[in-house]
Structure 1
Amino acid sequence: MASGKSNAILSLIPQLAGGATVRARVDDLIRYVNIPKDVLSSEPGLTDGDDPKILNLDYPAGVKCLEVYLGFAELTIRPLQLELKGIEGIWYPVSLDYDTFEDVVPLPGKSAEPSDRVCTVKHPQLKSYGKMVMKIAELPANWPAPNGGLFSSKASLETEMAREIRMHRDVVETGLGIAPVVFGLVTEKERGVIGFVMEYIEGVRSFDELKKEGYRMTDEDKKGCRDVLQKLHEKGFLHGDIHPGNLLRRPDGSVVLIDFQATSRVNSEGNVEGFAVASQTNERQMSLESWLATW
């Protein structure tokens, strides 16, 4: 069923070698378009303004996902040779298509480029939850590189997203209340699972954001950070990415953890099996305490 939503650039993801991948809604389908760096530099209006060129390309009928190259003289378009696959091995009782979400508003981030990777959203089937947070993977699982190969990073991104959904769900199921509740998966036409939707906590701010605004962490804040990590550790987890951007302060002063893509289960000694350096002791002393000491 058509979404009836307007064409739009949903995200522009810079590539390490230059250029970018654009995720866009064109003619009621989500397209993934690879734009080489020379095109971005020579065509500054390609993704800017009210009517960017990327949304007006002449797509051949029936082609769902395309790889687009702009040559010296003309635009050439060819279908992707590989089927786009979403995140595999993930299940949840609720799965909702990306284009059925409403009021999709990107959260402020470090990049000025358009990105819908982390947004606030609403959904008619989940009205009781009101505003929620949607997080999606950056790239398809098998995005082809211009040289005919595959971007080595994109498979990792999908694996991290799958891991994050599973670990986040496991942490929520501890009943400790130290992570936003996951409400369901986000799917995309022709692809399958691309991410998940979770609880929006009104007024919550990361300590990274608060520091930039001049906020000074109190002793109670530091205790809250230590306590929430200790609770996670007591349940047999290693967060794997503890920093002030992943520890959020509620208006009542309590602390919440987010971003579980690097989270692992630990053995009886508090280590990730086979990686002694990945230990709960190191996470407390080298990760958490090291940045708390800078406040």
Structure 2
Amino acid sequence: MVGPQQKNANVRLLACLVDEDDADDSDYRFLVDGKHVKYVTTSPGTFRGAEDDRTFEPILLGELFPPFPTGDWNKGHAARDPDTGKATFVKTETVQFAGVKNVWHPVKLNELDFTRQDRPRQRVHVSTHPQVQGGKPVLVKLAVWPWEIPFVEAETAAYQWISGTGVGPEFLGHLTEGKDGRVVGFVAEWVESARAAGPGDFDGCKEALGRLHELGIKLGDINKHNFLVRDGHDVVLVDFETAKRDCSPAELEDEMSALMSNLEDTSFRGGVAPAYE
């Protein structure tokens, strides 16, 4: 008999989306044998445990999940067997998950080679890699679930538009899921020791946004957390998920005219400085 400490000892939980009431499917992302990323969906009622148990790796893998099937698969489905009352894998298959298509930068980096230092926001990590930026912290933005891909696809394209302009952080490469897997994000310069802009930084923010507008690009979200101030005055634009190019002069003027009111906003809309996504 396989004990709780041995079962699934080669499996690590990477991420999960668990339905709090266990009334709908839950989704898990695992790393198997240190190199294979696998996704598992569980039906409602698969595990008779509290929500905390269904997200706590030692209990989830050691006690709740059945042993992972061997073989070359990346998508599985688990459910409770009505006869035995135990959780079981009912299906495994190999599928082609959607990934970022616009792979314009020459560098590709394996997501699994990074060491996470912090997670300032959902999908955004501050990480290190021995061969990137001399091992200094960098920003890693992930899109592992299907509905996240379009956002990173859009931002990846925006970084291509501004490449070499100095308007935003330096784009350092595409992020792959495993060594040769799909592209699931990107790596960019981490703007260290920066703060969100305020009304007193209007001139610097106007100049930075103006340089973007000169390219015909609208940032799309001009909340103050997307204007990072470093070295006391230098302003860097971040978060290009909603950026749009080939904009009319009127669109760009409207965005610029709304800048001050956004810098004066005292809410936490857009996040907490200096984190950005």
- TM category (shorter chain) comes to 0.7 to 0.9
Separation in 2, partners of 1:57, 1:251: 53
Separation in 1, partners of 2:24, 2:222: 30
Give SS of 1:159's match.
helix
Give 1:182 shift. Answer: 0.7
Q: Which amino acid aligns with 1:106?
A: D
Give SS of 1:237's match.
coil
Query: Could you say which residue in structure 1 is the equivalent of 2:239?
Result: 259
- Gap runs ≥5 in structure 2: 1-9, 267-277
Give 1:7 shift. Answer: 4.5
Counterpart selection for 1:163 from 154, 164, 174: 154
Give 1:196 shift. Answer: 0.8
Q: How many residues align?
A: 246
Correspondence 1:99 to 2:112: yes
Separation in 2, partners of 1:93, 1:166: 14
Give 1:126 shift. Answer: 2.3
- Provide the TM-score with structure 1 as the length reference: 0.71
Give 1:18 shift. Answer: 5.7
Separation in 2, partners of 1:241, 1:218: 17
Residues 95 and 15 of structure 1: CA distance in aligned 2, closer, same or farther (over 3 Å): farther
Give SS of 1:84's match.
coil
Give SS of 2:152's match.
helix
Q: 1:118-164: per-residue Cα shift (whole Å, max 9, x none)?
A: 11222233253622111111414xxxxxxxxxxxxx2xx32221221
The equivalences for 1:204-215 within 5 A come to 204-207=194-197
Query: Could you say which residue in structure 1 is the equivalent of 2:228?
Result: 248
Separation in 2, partners of 1:57, 1:245: 44
Query: Could you say which residue in structure 2 is the equivalent of 1:294?
Result: 265
Residues 105 and 8 of structure 1: CA distance in aligned 2, closer, same or farther (over 3 Å): farther
Give 1:61 shift. Answer: 0.9
Counterpart selection for 1:64 from 69, 73, 89: 73
Query: Could you say which residue in structure 1 is the equivalent of 2:120?
Result: 108
Q: Is the 8 A contact 2:46 2:87 kept in 1?
A: no
Separation in 1, partners of 2:158, 2:55: 36
Q: Is the 8 A contact 2:75 2:94 kept in 1?
A: no
Query: Could you say which residue in structure 1 is the equivalent of 2:33?
Result: 27
Query: Could you say which residue in structure 1 is the equivalent of 2:169?
Result: 180
- Provide the TM-score with structure 2 as the length reference: 0.75
Give SS of 2:253's match.
helix
Separation in 2, partners of 1:136, 1:160: 10
Residues 52 and 251 of structure 1: CA distance in aligned 2, closer, same or farther (over 3 Å): farther
Query: Could you say which residue in structure 2 is the equivalent of 1:46?
Result: 54
- Gap runs ≥5 in structure 1: 1-5, 110-114, 141-153, 208-216, 272-278
Query: Could you say which residue in structure 2 is the equivalent of 1:89?
Result: 102
Give SS of 1:47's match.
coil
Q: Which amino acid aligns with 1:9?
A: L
**RMSD over equivalenced CA pairs, Å:** 3.0
Q: 1:222-262: per-residue Cα shift (whole Å, max 9, x none)?
A: 22222211111112101112212322222423221111121
Correspondence 1:137 to 2:137: no
Give SS of 1:232's match.
helix
Give 1:194 shift. Answer: 0.8
Q: Which moved more, 1:88-97 or 1:26-35?
A: 26-35
Separation in 1, partners of 2:233, 2:18: 36
Q: Which amino acid aligns with 2:79?
A: L
Residues 57 and 285 of structure 1: CA distance in aligned 2, closer, same or farther (over 3 Å): farther
Residues 246 and 7 of structure 1: CA distance in aligned 2, closer, same or farther (over 3 Å): farther
Q: 1:149-196: per-residue Cα shift (whole Å, max 9, x none)?
A: xxxxx2xx32221221121132132x2x22110111111136321111
Correspondence 1:74 to 2:86: yes
Give SS of 1:242's match.
coil
Percentage of matched positions with identical amino acids = 26
